[in-house]
Structure 1
Amino acid sequence: MTSEIAGPVPGSRLPNSYIETVARFAYVWGWPMVSMINRRTGLTSVPEPGLRGGILPNAPVGRVCMMTDYIAPSQRFVACTNQDVLYGFGFGSLDEQPAVFQIPDFGDRFWVAAAWDHRTDSFARLGKQYGTEPGFYTVVGPNWKGTLPQGITGSFRSPTAMAAFCPRVFLEDTPEDRAAVAELIKQVNIYPLDEFDGNIHSYDWAAVPSFPTPDAGGSGEIHWVNPDTFFDQLSEVLDTVPPLPGEEALYQQFRTLLAAAEGSDSVKKTLTDVARATEDELISTLLRWEFNGPPAGNNWYSPLNNSAFGTDYLTRTAIARSNMFENAPQETKYLFTDTDIDGTQLDGTHAYTVTFAAGALPPVNGFFSLTLYNKHHFYFENDLGRYSLGTKNPGLHYGDDGSLTIYVSNTPPTQEPRSNWLPAPPDEFSLYIRAYWPQQAILDRTWQPPIIHRA
């Protein structure tokens, strides 16, 4: 005889140590999904598409707001943004209302339009690397049973009702390219399916309103997960995110904790105490890049399953903490490090060289960049307004042998080309390589990232 009960029998007395053990795992498991709930609330609470503080795209549920220039270094809504693309961002409630992705003809320009489910897994394949044709594409929820109208080019089904959207359009760091993309970007749009009429819905993204920015509460990313309210929000996750195969028993274990807390102030206090301790002792450490993926060579790290995490709960939570909203590996390969080749923390009290040997630039069909982040994973604001270098910078100086050396330091180099200088803060920082539309040598890890030498 087998039992269908997946956790302790309802009403059982639970030892405090058992509550602590399950609660700690629940916190790690659910952290990205609670973060998604709170990001949706924070980034959709506007009456129309616009920019928070004039710097970060926000839009009502089911829509997107596009940017017309690189993202501002002062924003603290999303860590580890890049300054290679024009971003758009939004959220959808796809069981209630599918969303239409309006894709113009980008010509030779690189672009990708990502969509993530509530678990932060990517589910849509829209971009230059997929050979996506111009047209209208829908993303629909798992329980949506409507009929798509004539004129829809293709459709993708999300595993969850909630989804996040992020079109990215490559922008070269020149006035000429900004002018070239100005009209094109007006045709990039996302809106509810019930507004679809088969016509291009253009939007003057340069004229969107600005909305107040809430206090970020420090130099790091806004705290999207509050340990004190985490277990109050976990029930929403369990109710709206279907379990993966084999997770049914896990869900029941978590529900057992929540049920016990409903009838006991002592259990509720234990859950809160565990959440606070796990945030301090575990989640905070995941900001270190060494916990975001296996070694990729030369003291760099790189995830192998970004945006396709399955039951790899640790990596999913690590990336949600340090680098939310990564593209799928075939769209973008991410490599990052906190240390030089000797394993010593990167620090602006020293100067560094990052040299790509001749023929050893990241092998991509799209573009690459090397970005510098401060210890909070945001830009180090500097007088040059320079936060990354790569394909977007046509003025980089290459050596006579074809190599490319980037100079990283707090003060400008005295002899080396200033065009190749990446300003660093006076204290700890990290470096980050993005390889958009990576070639096989990056995907199979035969290409090695550059060595970082301390001068």
Structure 2
Amino acid sequence: MASPAAPQSQVPYPVRALTPAHADLARSAGVPALLANEDYVEALARVVYYWGYPAVDGFGRTNMWEIMKEKPGTMLGLLPGAPMNTTGCLADYMSPSQRWVVTPNNDTIYGAGFANLAVEPAVVQTPTDAPQGHYWTIQIVDIFTNVIHQLGSASATPGGKFLLVGPDWKGEKPEGFLDVLRMPTNTAGVFPRSFAARTPEAKATAVAVLDQIGMYPLSKDRPGPHRIDCHAAARNAVYPPGVTAQMIAGDPDASRPQWVNPKTFWDDLEKMLAANPTVGPSDAAMAGQARTLIALRKTDPGYKALLDRAALAADAALHASSTYVQVGVDAGNSWQRQEGAGRWGTDWFSRAQATVIYIYVNDYREATYFIRGTDAKGSLLDGRHVYTMTFPKEALPPMDRTRGGFWSLTMYDKDYFMLPNPPNGRTNIGTVNLDANELRFAPDGALTLTLSREQPTNAEARANWLPAPEGQFALIVRAYVPTQQILDGAYKLPDVIREAKNGAP
């Protein structure tokens, strides 16, 4: 390595310690120590990349503040967006044609916003008039996507106002607030959701609840509830500079961001850490390591090249492992599950993988996610085949309906987005279809779902059909408000069986 460019007295000790004291011994005797130090730095850099990946991704998404700086609305006419410390919301399901958020659901109507708690605290409002048994939640995550607070029907959260504050806030609970919600980082993501069945009446109920929940700056608080108009927000379509509605309609990927660019990772990580100098206890030690590597990269051109290369290698490895075929552990019948989802602790690699395939997953106790990309024999799922999934009598996923629980099976293409124009209008199948009496049960009480690109000719299979795309696809079962059977692994989903013939069963 070249000698540090900055005077040694200005370089922090942890950075100086990464260069051997006598790397230039005669007859190259110092080379083994030099190589050992380089190996250590490279190994540490890869771990730091996995650790920091979710935070760089999330911090990049705060560009919402600039795009939506005037008022809440829809980014690109497709996604909820809002100014700083504010949430926006949709008035219907998220459009299947959007390409910003991987693996969204089509069971709930979304809200979203990001807070900068270094500027001021935010008010998080919960509904005072939600129907009994209606599912709603407000998921609040730190910059690393750790779920810090999960309010909602599942936890019987009362209606009213909460004060969301950053790590440096000091004060007492204001008059009229239910509680103070403390965050370990200045940047927080706040994501309301409200369950919506397929009918206009059910969607109206979902939006009426969503109109009562969300986030806004403390400086805008007034006595009484704050009214949030999701229909007005949904009509306010905003596009980034240089992007038009016609461009998005012609090519959904026209404005698809690369939230984490390995070529700029270290600079982006430095910006994130500058905005979030304090992090939670599970991330504090790695934050110190990250700052050391960032300083090392600035002081030594050789180490800069090594760190930049390590970021590229780590990014390639992360994406190679982050697929519905590989992520998680066995959950029975070839389904996989990340058992600590949302509550990551020091499981930084799983957290990074989740960021790639389904960022901002709920606390697993709020919603358990089962994923797969293969059939019962371990072959990749592909739309040219026909698959079935049979639930025996009274063996549907056990959810707590009294607290709003529901389940769904969602179809995604190889990039983990929904089908934009499914022939029967379904991007998922589950509780909403059961409640609408759309599905057909066999005489023995079993329910068989058919997954295929071509429409089945059999009437029962057609009623229970979830369309698949051309080529490779992936599946996710969401179990919202799961019972203990799901949480402890006693309940097993049925396997996905490829039919012997290429066609409808």
Q: Report the TM-score, using the length of structure 2 for normalisation.
A: 0.84
Contact 2:328–2:337, Cα closer than 8 Å, also in 1: yes
Deviates more, 1:5-14 or 1:300-309: 5-14
Q: Report deviation, 1:344.
A: 0.9
> What is the CA–CA distance in structure 1 between the aligned matches of 2:137 and 2:284, rounded to whole Å?
34
Match among 193, 206, 216 for residue 218 of structure 2: 193
Over 3 Å counting, the alpha-carbon distance change for 1:181 and 1:251 in structure 2 is: closer
Q: Report deviation, 1:242.
A: 3.5
* Matching residue of 1:159: 184
Contact 1:219–1:376, Cα closer than 8 Å, also in 2: no
Deviations 1:117-157 (A, max 9, x none): 11211111311111111111222111111333211122211
* Counterpart amino acid of residue 238 in structure 2: F
Match among 60, 67, 73 for residue 45 of structure 1: 67
Deviations 1:155-181 (A, max 9, x none): 211111111011110000112212334
1:292 aligned to 2:327? yes
Deviations 1:275-303 (A, max 9, x none): 122222x1212331254321100111111
Q: Report deviation, 1:220.
A: 11
Match among 98, 106, 125 for residue 130 of structure 2: 106
Contact 2:121–2:166, Cα closer than 8 Å, also in 1: yes
* Matching residue of 1:256: 292
Q: Report deviation, 1:248.
A: 5.7
Aligned residue for 1:29, secondary structure, equals helix
* Matching residue of 2:106: 83
Aligned residue for 2:384, secondary structure, equals coil
Larger radius of gyration: 2
Aligned residue for 1:316, secondary structure, equals helix
* Matching residue of 2:303: 267
Over 3 Å counting, the alpha-carbon distance change for 1:24 and 1:182 in structure 2 is: closer
1:402 aligned to 2:445? yes
Deviates more, 1:441-450 or 1:33-42: 33-42
Flag structure 1 segments of 5+ consecutive residues without an equivalent. none
Deviates more, 1:377-386 or 1:307-316: 377-386
Aligned residue for 1:190, secondary structure, equals strand
Contact 2:374–2:381, Cα closer than 8 Å, also in 1: yes
Over 3 Å counting, the alpha-carbon distance change for 1:283 and 1:217 in structure 2 is: farther
1:454 aligned to 2:471? no
* Counterpart amino acid of residue 493 in structure 2: P
* Matching residue of 2:92: 69
Deviates more, 1:436-445 or 1:124-133: 124-133
Match among 248, 257, 260 for residue 225 of structure 1: 260
> What is the CA–CA distance in structure 2 between the aligned matches of 1:80 and 1:63, rounded to whole Å?
23
Deviates more, 1:166-175 or 1:258-267: 258-267
Q: Report deviation, 1:234.
A: 2.0
1:9 aligned to 2:17? yes
Deviations 1:68-119 (A, max 9, x none): 1000011111101000001000001123322212222212211111000112
Q: Please give the residue correspondences for 1:16-27 in structure 2 after superposition, counting only pairs within 5 Å.
A: 16-27=38-49
* Matching residue of 2:361: 326
Contact 2:195–2:206, Cα closer than 8 Å, also in 1: no
Q: Report deviation, 1:27.
A: 1.2
Contact 2:325–2:374, Cα closer than 8 Å, also in 1: no
Percent identical across equivalent pairs?
Answer: 35
> What is the CA–CA distance in structure 1 between the aligned matches of 2:336 and 2:326, rounded to whole Å?
8
* Matching residue of 2:239: 212
RMSD between superposed Cα atoms in Å: 2.3
Q: Report deviation, 1:272.
A: 1.9
* Matching residue of 1:124: 149
> What is the CA–CA distance in structure 1 between the aligned matches of 2:179 and 2:285, rounded to whole Å?
36
Q: Report the TM-score, using the length of structure 1 for normalisation.
A: 0.93
* Matching residue of 1:392: 432
Deviates more, 1:264-273 or 1:27-36: 264-273
> What is the CA–CA distance in structure 1 between the aligned matches of 2:186 and 2:290, rounded to whole Å?
21
Q: Report deviation, 1:324.
A: 0.2
> What is the CA–CA distance in structure 2 between the aligned matches of 1:212 and 1:167, rounded to whole Å?
22
* Matching residue of 1:341: 376
Number of residue pairs matched? 451
* Matching residue of 2:411: 372
1:31 aligned to 2:75? no
* Counterpart amino acid of residue 302 in structure 2: S
> What is the CA–CA distance in structure 2 between the aligned matches of 1:184 and 1:416, rounded to whole Å?
37
* Counterpart amino acid of residue 62 in structure 1: N
Match among 471, 476, 484 for residue 427 of structure 1: 471
> What is the CA–CA distance in structure 1 between the aligned matches of 2:256 and 2:158, rounded to whole Å?
36
Quick check: which one's helix share is greater? 2
* Matching residue of 2:489: 445
Contact 1:7–1:249, Cα closer than 8 Å, also in 2: no
Aligned residue for 2:161, secondary structure, equals strand
Contact 2:184–2:280, Cα closer than 8 Å, also in 1: no
Contact 1:139–1:157, Cα closer than 8 Å, also in 2: yes
Contact 2:160–2:225, Cα closer than 8 Å, also in 1: no
